[in-house]
Amino acid sequence: MAVQSSFKNMVLSLMVICFVSSALLAVVYVVTKAPIEAASAAKTNNAIAQVVPEFDGTPEKARIGVAGTDYIYYKVSKGGSVVGYAVMASATGFGGPVSLMVGITADGVIYNTSVLSQSETPGLGAKCTDPAFADQFRNFNPAEKVLKVKKDGGDIDAITASTITSRAYANAVQTAVDVFKAITSGEQPDAASGASVSAAHTENDNNGGHSNE
């Protein structure tokens, strides 16, 4: 079956195999690059569309620094006026970070939330994606209610046996609310806000004009 091993043919055959494999990979990489980017853009766009009221055009991507951390948010508008913000925020849960997309309408009420990624225990903390828990944050007004689990004196019903995850979820939403306050106070300099604004600059959205109606 196999040929006799000599130093020359060992090096040569390995080199040929490495070269062919790399070339093949490069080809597939180039071919799948656009679909991969489209898939990840579609994921972000879906998450945004899920958490903010109806809008037109493309969500405007921007960054803002609040209390030393950089946050990404998307501004969406309809007919020229801003209808809401989708803020990406995360907090430490039980099995790792719980990352959320939190939609907040222009008047400061949470419109909806969506989980971007989490590694909580299946059947316990992972239930934070269930509507039974997540729908508590729909139309939640942080000005009237407290974004904490009931155990900590707030208004959120924790998931059974998963207080840490529920707490992380509430914390992430609270972070998003703080970011929202910083954004709005940055755009209307006379509005008072506790959060410190270090930088708020808009950058071009790079998802190539995918509109998501």
Estimate to the nearest angstrom the gap between the alpha carbon of 163 and the chain centroid.
22
Rounded to whole angstroms, the Cα distance separating 15 from 11 reads 6
Contacting residues for 72 by C-beta, under 8 A, at least 6 apart: 61, 62, 63, 87, 88
List binders of other proteins among 26-45 (CB under 8 A): 28-29, 32, 35-36, 38-40, 43
CB atoms within 10 A of CB 129: 14
Range in contact with other proteins (rule: CB under 8 A) among 19-27, 101-109, 132-140, 151-159: 19-27
Contacting residues for 155 by C-beta, under 8 A, at least 6 apart: 145, 146, 147, 148
Q: What value, to the nearest 5°, has the Cα angle with vertex 65 and ends 59 and 70?
A: 75
Under the binding rule (CB under 8 A), the answer on residue 192 touching other proteins is no
Out of 128, 164, 170, 177, name the contact with other proteins by CB under 8 A: 164
Q: Give the burial string for 137-176 (b: 16+ CB within 10 Å, else e).
A: beebebeeeebbbeeeebebebbeebbbbbbbbbbbbbbb
Site string for other proteins, 44-63 (x = CB under 8 A): --------------------
Range in contact with other proteins (rule: CB under 8 A) among 58-66, 105-113, 116-124, 205-213: 116-124
C-beta closer to other proteins: residue 5 or 204 = 5
Out of 53, 57, 65, 97, name the contact with other proteins by CB under 8 A: 97
Rounded to whole angstroms, the Cα distance separating 74 from 100 reads 13
Nearest-Å Rg of the Cα atoms of the chain is 23
The size of the interface with other proteins (CB under 8 A), counted in residues, is 37
Site string for other proteins, 74-93 (x = CB under 8 A): ----------------x-x-
Residue holding tokens 């930088």? 199
Under the binding rule (CB under 8 A), the answer on residue 5 touching other proteins is yes
C-beta closer to other proteins: residue 2 or 192 = 2
Binding site for other proteins (CB under 8 A): 1-6, 9-10, 13-14, 17-18, 21-22, 24-25, 28-29, 32, 35-36, 38-40, 43, 69, 90, 92, 94, 96-97, 117, 121-124, 164
